[in-house]
Amino acid sequence: MACGLLVLCVVFAAALSAQARGQAAPAAAAPQTPPAAPGGRGGEPPAPPPTPRAAAPIDLTGNWVSVVTEDWRWRMVVPPKGDYTSVPITAAAMKAADAWDPAKDEAAGEQCKAYGAPGLMRIPGRLRISWQDDTTMKVEADAGTQTRLLHFGDWKSPGGEPTVQGDTVASWETPRAGRGQPPPKAGNLKTVTTRLRPGYLRKNGIPYGSTATLTEYWDLLRQRNGDQWIVITTVVDDPTYLRQSWITSLNFKKEADGSKWDPTPCSVR
């Protein structure tokens, strides 16, 4: 009996020894990586979005001259009184235009009524476009010595009385980027102008009122020879003086410099 017990003990001891040699100790649990803090990599705060100036998909800055390719007879000379062709005016607009008297405008100091935003860009002349700051584009016109400010972002109107150039809110329109891809460097500028002081769509007294809205789409085109063009599609809506939207197109060609810049005052003629 003792011998049998001894054999069993030896066998059991050998088994324990073999188990000890062939079985590794339980592995320690892998350390858990703490979740990243909100923001950038490694808990860094997220980078601020680029400014409208830095995010611009097209470069509209520089000196530009208007090239009259349509409506020559209404843009290069002052149309005669009563010429309303191509403008979808209402009866109220016709009545106001029929009463137009340039001498009265001049006597009242209203020489700039045709140089408000809805009419200014159609007057032949030159533009000088620059960035006033990272969120404001400045468009200067030598015709009438006018300046328009195009405000990006969450800009709010300061209020007060309507002005000749009104309040313009601007935004870049770009194609949607693919997942994980940066925004594509292509697109156009959209501007919406409101709070306008009443003025003229043409120099012959066709009116727009204080409730008018001007929407513009600015596209930049490049030709193979290096020439650059801005094409502006303009949409004027006015519930008082227009039966429907008045849509036109304007062309500006880029110039090498500002040597031909020629500011002139507003004129009723």
pLDDT of 197 above 90: yes
Domain ranges for the chain, please list them: 62-176+186-219+227-255
pLDDT (0 to 100) of residue 47? 82
Contact yes or no for 84/116 (Cβ under 8 A): no
3-state SS of the chain is: CHHHHHHHHHHHHHHHHHHHHHCCCCCCCCCCCCCCCCCCHHHCCCCCCCCCCCCCCCCCCEEEEECCCCCHHHHCCCCCCCCCCCCCECHHHHHHHHCCCHHHHHHCCCCCCCCCHHHHCCCCCEEEEEEEECCEEEEEECECCEEEEEECCCCCCCCCCCECCCEEEEEEECCCCCCCCCCCCCCEEEEEEECECCEECCCCCCEECCCCEEEEEEEEEECCCCCEEEEEEEEEECCCCECCCEEEEEEEEEECCCCCCCCECCCCC
For residue range 222-253, what is the model confidence (pLDDT) as tens digits? 999 999 999 999 999 999 999 999 999 999 99
Between residues 20 and 138, the one the model is more confident about:
138
Average pLDDT over the chain, rounded to whole?
87
Task: State the pLDDT confidence band at 35, using cuts at 50, 70 and 90.
Answer: low
Contact yes or no for 261/126 (Cβ under 8 A): yes
Contact yes or no for 172/48 (Cβ under 8 A): no
For residue range 201-221, what is the model confidence (pLDDT) as tens digits? 999 999 999 999 999 999 999
Global pTM value = 0.81
pLDDT (0 to 100) of residue 85? 93
Burial of 172 (0-12, 13-18, 19+ CB in 10 A): middle
Those residues with Cβ within 8 angstroms of residue 139's Cβ, 6 or more apart along the chain or in another chain:
127, 128, 129, 147, 148, 149, 150
Distance of alpha carbon 236 from alpha carbon 122, whole angstroms:
13
pLDDT of 39 above 60: no
> Which has the minimum average pLDDT: 11-20, 61-70, 124-133, 147-156?
11-20
